[in-house]
């Protein structure tokens, strides 16, 4: 290896371990602020999937900043519902989930048999911040409030899927 190649490698490695703009070592810089003429960004992605004694289970909710919302499930043959809600209700949903701790939750390692895995991603409204994704099997403690917020939103905007939800 030549001296120039070695210097390039060492410089690259030293930059990789320097603290990023948020003080975290190796952190990526914030994304560029771009014009946003199409306000269709994901706000909530919620998935419930797995096997139970009664069979396979798959249920997915997506909610976007412009109010576009979809609930898809594979329960009794599968279904998909699409609706539009007022964007202020989307903001209320994000705020309620944030107040319930969804932006700071971590995976819950409570491996439980016959219970589908639930995974929630909540996107922050600040474009320079990232989302938070976490998974759990049973909605105990703080997760019970998060679960009730999701269930209330789903109940207010969608018909029950064929075969029920069962989460």
Q: Which two tokens stand for residue 34?
A: 């771009």
What does pTM read for this prediction? 0.74
Q: Kindly report the CATH number assigned to the domain that includes residue 64.
A: 3.30.1560.10
Please check whether residue 68 lies inside any domain of the structure.
yes
What is the model's pLDDT at position 109?
Answer: 78
What is the model's pLDDT at position 165?
Answer: 52
Largest CA distance in the chain: 67
Domain that holds residue 114: 40-157
pLDDT in tens, 26-68: 566 766 677 878 888 999 999 999 877 777 778 899 999 999 9
> Which positions ≥6 away from 112 have C-beta within 8 Å?
137, 138
Count up the domains in the chain and report the number: 1
Helix (H, G, I), strand (E, B) or coil at 131: coil
What is the model's pLDDT at position 15?
Answer: 47
Please check whether residue 34 lies inside any domain of the structure.
no
d(CA 129, CA 117): 26
Please check whether residue 124 lies inside any domain of the structure.
yes
d(CA 16, CA 27): 8
Which of 74 and 64 is assigned the larger pLDDT?
64
């Amino acid at each position: 290896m030549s001296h120039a190649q070695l210097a390039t490698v060492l410089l690259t490695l030293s930059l990789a371990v320097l603290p990023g703009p948020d003080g975290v070592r190796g952190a990526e810089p914030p994304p560029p602020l771009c014009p946003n003429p199409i306000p269709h960004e994901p706000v909530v992605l919620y998935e419930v999937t797995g096997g139970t004694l009664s069979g396979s289970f798959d249920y997915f909710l997506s909610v976007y900043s412009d109010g576009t919302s979809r609930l898809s499930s594979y329960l009794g043959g599968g279904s998909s519902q699409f609706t539009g809600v007022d964007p202020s209700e989307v903001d209320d949903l994000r705020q309620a989930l944030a107040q319930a701790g969804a932006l700071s939750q971590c995976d819950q390692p409570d491996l439980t048999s016959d219970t589908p895995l639930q995974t929630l991603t909540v996107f922050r409204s600040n474009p320079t911040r990232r989302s938070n994704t976490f998974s759990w099997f049973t909605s105990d403690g703080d997760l019970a409030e998060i679960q009730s917020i999701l269930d209330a939103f789903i109940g207010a905007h969608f018909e029950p899927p064929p075969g029920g939800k069962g989460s």
